[in-house]
Amino acid sequence: MYSWSDALTLTSAGEWDELFTTLHGASRISVPDHEAPWSARLEWQQSTAYGVALCAGGREVVQRETRHIRSDPRGTYELLVPLAGRAWVEQGPSATEIRPGSMVLCDIDRPMRFAHDADFLSIAFIMSGTDVAARSPFAAGEPRMLGADRGLGRIVRQLTTTLHEEREQLSESTFDIACDRLLDLVCLAAEGGTDTAPAGQRATVEAAIRRHVRQHACEPDLDVVAIARALGWSVRYVQQVLREAGTTARDLIRRERLHLARARLAGGSWAAYSIAQIAYSCGFASHASFATAFRSEFGMTPSAARRGAA
């Protein structure tokens, strides 16, 4: 699914309620006067994985309660980026006011209350909760307030705004690629702008990476991009975790392939295969590069390793 809208001008609170809940989930919406003239603006872009929505409407209070979540679970997080006016967000023990210069990241499947003035204008970046948790358990915790007036927060705000403004020029794939990068930056900003993977998750993530490399070492196109895509993390995050472990994806893949090749050189079931065939079967692009790497790792040639095993 991939869609975007032109600017929709809504003239009744009922129309607004219907479209708002379609985008953000079932909620109870209260306005000062449901029968009074209403003026609201809504624009959005949506793919299977992400959404960006600009909203401007009258004064209202939006409450997403447990019953709404039970009937309409979304599995999403939203980064709310104010462009004008001010709003108030309450979720769990957290309550905060946001206005231009600040942003808030919230779990849509937790009860929350959101209220704003009549002049409030904002863009919501909608993303998968699973993707947020995979990148940063810290970001997936309590609602996170992010500064938007300098540094990384300002970049997040600018990229969110640009994604919305250029929505009609982007294919679904380019939209998703841009959103992937934005999600990385959001999680990094939520962690305080550090360039270090959250300590509590490193061991689990590292084990998953090593397991994936072990299972797919023979695939010639295995690299850090393929690992990140398969496990649902960003390339940056995979690189961070491996750097903390004192290695890189390239070294990890090379070492796993070399140990697999040594086992095959010693195995009777591979005796009929040449050394070059074993090298190719383990994901190496050439016999020469395999021989060089093998000698560097084990201090002997592949031929010597085969003779010693025999």
Tokens describing residue 194:
């550090």
Q: How confident is the model at residue 232 (pLDDT cuts 50, 70, 90)?
A: low
3 pLDDT above the threshold of 80: no
CATH number for 37: 2.60.120.10
13 pLDDT above the threshold of 50: yes
Q: In the chain, how many domains are there?
A: 2
Q: How confident is the model at residue 140 (pLDDT cuts 50, 70, 90)?
A: confident
The verdict on 124 and 206 lying in the same domain is: no
65 pLDDT above the threshold of 90: yes
Q: Give residue 180's domain range.
A: 3-190
The verdict on 35 and 52 lying in the same domain is: yes
Q: How confident is the model at residue 4 (pLDDT cuts 50, 70, 90)?
A: low
269 pLDDT above the threshold of 60: yes
The verdict on 174 and 36 lying in the same domain is: yes
Dist. CA 80–CA 267, nearest whole Å: 58
The verdict on 180 and 160 lying in the same domain is: yes
Dist. CA 219–CA 151, nearest whole Å: 40
The verdict on 226 and 155 lying in the same domain is: no
Mean pLDDT computed over 210-228: 91
Q: What's residue 291's pLDDT? A: 92
193 pLDDT above the threshold of 80: no
The residue that leads in pLDDT, 64 or 13, is 64
Least confident span in 6-15, 24-33, 89-98: 6-15
The verdict on 283 and 179 lying in the same domain is: no
Among 190, 220, 243, where does a domain finish? Answer: 190
Q: What is the pTM of this model?
A: 0.64
Q: Which long-range contacts (CB under 8 A, 24 or more apart) does 147-153 make?
A: 147/101, 147/102, 147/103, 148/81, 148/100, 148/101, 148/102, 148/103, 149/101, 149/102, 151/193, 152/185, 152/188, 152/189, 152/193, 153/103, 153/189
Dist. CA 128–CA 182, nearest whole Å: 13
The verdict on 156 and 13 lying in the same domain is: yes
Mean pLDDT computed over 140-153: 84
123 pLDDT above the threshold of 50: yes
The verdict on 266 and 164 lying in the same domain is: no
Least confident span in 43-57, 87-101, 181-195, 245-259: 181-195
**Which of 207, 183, 76 has its CA nearest to residue 135?**
183
Dist. CA 234–CA 229, nearest whole Å: 7
The verdict on 168 and 297 lying in the same domain is: no
The verdict on 17 and 133 lying in the same domain is: yes
15 pLDDT above the threshold of 70: yes
The verdict on 104 and 37 lying in the same domain is: yes
138 pLDDT above the threshold of 50: yes
Among 172, 190, 208, where does a domain finish? Answer: 190
Q: What's residue 25's pLDDT? A: 92
Tokens describing residue 305:
């390793």
Q: What's residue 8's pLDDT? A: 65
Q: What's residue 204's pLDDT? A: 77
195 pLDDT above the threshold of 50: no
Q: How confident is the model at residue 39 (pLDDT cuts 50, 70, 90)?
A: confident
284 pLDDT above the threshold of 80: yes
Among 133, 168, 190, where does a domain finish? Answer: 190
When the pLDDT of each residue in the chain is averaged and rounded to a whole number, the result is 86
* List of residues 6+ apart from 269 with CB closer than 8 A: none
The verdict on 255 and 182 lying in the same domain is: no
Dist. CA 216–CA 249, nearest whole Å: 13
CATH number for 271: 1.10.10.60
**CB distance 87 to 139 below 8 Å:** no
